[in-house]
Amino acid sequence: MIRVAVAGCAGRMGKTLVQAIEEAPQLSLGAAFEHPGHSFIGTDAGALAGIGDKGVMISADPASQVDAFDVVIDFTIPEATLGLAEICALHSKSMVIGTTGLSAEQLSQLAQFAQQTSLFISPNMSVGVNLSLRLIELAAKALGDDVDVEVIEAHHRDKVDAPSGTALRIGEVLAQALGRDLDENAIYGRQGITGARDSKTIGFSTIRGGDIVGEHTVMFAGEGERLEITHRAHSRSNFAQGALRAVGFVHGKQPGLYNMQDLLGL
């Protein structure tokens, strides 16, 4: 039995993860965390998630709970993720990270922590999304510079970062497949008289509204035809199931950085 901790357990994704762990036969909820001062500190995490009391009280001090879990799942914010990763590195606890908005410097810090423990990082835990990344790579290599590429993503009104981590990952895949530099060729929105489109551009469009769980489309627009690869998430359960698969994958692994492409053998 793998004991799992959930960071950000009072949020929508956190509650979904607690529920999914309850249903997973090889997993058990070992600990649950929220930021200091949160109104649910001291509350039973199971009761909060609607599955009844589990005897796991929400804590603001992960360091005091390291003996209660083997792997922690974190879908919070970059600063909190880095602090938790440092604790995991010090105590040889594995970590599954779904946090988005991580900077290059923060990713570098995580890579340093991964020298001491196993870290699984993916901006999107959906199996479908990660299969889509492979399809996008194949399409980009096949179509090359004969088409224009655009990335369109949509999420709920409360998402704080834009473009999404998944959209940025799509951009990285496109840039690598097309032999381009994303920093030089990305455009994150257009307004006014922009002139004709540069053929090397990788465009991003962001939509925020309502309760949209997550949608990503890559448009390959050519002369006379257009290819679109789209993934739509209808609930957070697919992200939770992907995260639980990641828990089973990363638990017991040697120190290092792992991702969904490793898990899926892609």
Q: What is the pLDDT of residue 93?
A: 97
Mean pLDDT of 174-185: 97
Cα separation, 94 vs 177, whole angstroms: 31
Percent of the chain with pLDDT over 70: 100
Residue 55 has pLDDT above 90, yes or no: yes
Mean pLDDT of 214-243: 94
Active-site amino acid positions: 155, 159
Whether the bond between 25 and the residue before it is cis, its omega within 30 degrees of 0, is: no
Mean pLDDT computed over every residue of the chain? 95
Residues 6 or more apart whose Cβ sits within 8 Å of residue 146: 222, 223
pLDDT band, residue 239 (cuts 50/70/90): confident
pLDDT band, residue 236 (cuts 50/70/90): confident
Gyration radius from the chain CA atoms: 20
Q: What is the pLDDT of residue 221?
A: 98
pLDDT band, residue 151 (cuts 50/70/90): very high
Q: What is the pTM of this model?
A: 0.79
Q: What is the pLDDT of residue 105?
A: 96
Q: Where in the chain is the domain with CATH 3.30.360.10?
A: 127-233
Q: What is the pLDDT of residue 162?
A: 92
* Tens of pLDDT, residues 3-20: 999 999 999 999 999 999
Mean pLDDT of 200-210: 97
Q: What is the pLDDT of residue 100?
A: 85
Burial class, 226, CB count within 10 angstroms (exposed 0-12 / middle 13-18 / buried 19+): exposed
* Tens of pLDDT, residues 134-143: 999 999 999 9
Q: Which CATH class is domain 2-121+236-264?
A: alpha beta
Mean pLDDT of 177-201: 94
Residue 266 has pLDDT above 80, yes or no: no
Residue 163, CA distances (Å) to 9, 132, 170, 265 in order: 24, 18, 11, 27
Residue 45 has pLDDT above 80, yes or no: yes
* Tens of pLDDT, residues 71-117: 999 999 999 999 999 999 999 999 999 998 899 999 999 999 999 99
Query: Hey, CA dihedral for 25, 242, 31, 12, is it positive or negative?
Result: negative
Q: What is the pLDDT of residue 110?
A: 97
Q: Where in the chain is the domain with CATH 3.40.50.720?
A: 2-121+236-264
Q: What is the pLDDT of residue 238?
A: 85
Homologous superfamily (CATH) of 127-233 is: Dihydrodipicolinate Reductase; domain 2 (3.30.360.10)
Q: What is the pLDDT of residue 101?
A: 84
DSSP-assigned letters across all residues of 90-103: HHT-EEEE------
